[in-house]
Amino acid sequence: MSKPKVGIFGLTGCAGDQLAILNCEDRLLDLVALIDIRDFPMASSDGNQECALDIAMVEGAVVTMRDARRLRAIRQRSATLVALGTCAVWGGVAAMDRDLDRAKLLEEVYGELGKEYDSCPARALHEIVKVDHNITGCPIEKEHFLAAVASLLNGDPPLYPAYPVCTECRMRENNCLLIERGELCCGPITVAGCDARCPQLRIPCVGCRGPVTDANPASALALFEEKGFDRERIWARLRTFAPVGVAS
């Protein structure tokens, strides 16, 4: 059987997820023995930009028309499309205030020149094309990437937690920052997978992995208000990694 052809791409993002892949150092050789990486612009500039792909992995949000065109082209040449990282899955930081007047923002920042720029409100990949699998995280956990490749090679969909950070936080028997210290911890509504990295270090979760399946933001909002945080601060925290109204 020939090796599956894979492409790894970045739209608008920090490249952290692609870096996480390159950071799989000791596994990279195993990886290239199993998959044929045809197009990975960040790692090599002479990829094949036309061929059909079995799997495309795409990092970053869509914030320009050029991003959107690239994404559509990638989708067209790929059998399976995987969104890589919180920006691709949820819109991420770039999408935080996407409801603000774009033209005005461009003018404020770039003055007259702003009008010329190719810029649109940030969107997650699934808002533009069909996405088959999501690997969330800011950045992704490299173990999740490797596990996803292992599953996809076997024809299985990769599986991720449908429970929030609190679960892993409790499993590690941490003191609860929200209950015991009254801190604004987004653990109850953020999807797990990071092994509660931040609360483990006594830093409240800022929700970088995006919302958990079936999150209950209304109750979380009421809870945070009850703890004395004002609405503005709560909203600022909640929309940092996933804008209002984005559904996965």
Q: Does 238 bind ligand SF4 (CB under 6 A)?
A: no
3-class secondary structure for 147-209?
A: HHHHHHHCCCCCCCCCCEHHHHHHHCCCCCHHHHHCCCCCHHHEECCCCCHHHHCCCCCCCCC
CA distance 177 to 205: 9
Residue with smaller CB distance to ligand SF4, 121 or 164? 164
In the complex with another protein, the residue whose CB is nearer, 153 or 206, is: 153
- Could you say which of ligand SF4, another protein, none residue 206 binds, taking C-beta under 5 to 8 angstroms by partner kind? ligand SF4
Look at residue 214 and give the partner it binds from ligand SF4, another protein, none, a contact being a CB closer than 5 to 8 Å depending on partner kind. another protein
The half-sphere exposure of 101 on its side-chain side, counting CA atoms within 13 A, is 5
189 is in the binding site of which of another protein, ligand SF4, none (Cβ under 5 to 8 A by kind)?
A: another protein
Q: Closer to another protein by CB, 147 or 206: give it.
A: 147
Give the shortest CB-150-to-another protein separation in angstroms: 5
Residue (104 or 172) nearer to ligand SF4, CB: 172
Q: Which is nearer to ligand SF4, 152 or 169 (CB)?
A: 169
Min dist CB 229 to ligand SF4, Å, is 13
Here's the x/- map for ligand SF4, 183-212, by CB under 6 A: it reads as: --x-xx-x---x-xxxx-----xxxxx---
Residue window 156-175: x/- pattern of binding to ligand SF4, with contact defined by CB under 6 A: ---------xx--xx---x-
Interacting residues with another protein (CB under 8 A): 27, 30-31, 33-34, 146-147, 149-151, 153-154, 156, 159, 162-164, 166-167, 170-176, 178-180, 187-189, 212-216, 218-220, 223
Total number of residues binding ligand SF4 (CB under 6 A)? Answer: 22
Nearest CB to ligand SF4, comparing residues 50 and 180: 180
* Residue ranges binding ligand SF4 (CB under 6 A): 165-166, 169-170, 174, 176-178, 185, 187-188, 190, 194, 196-199, 205-209
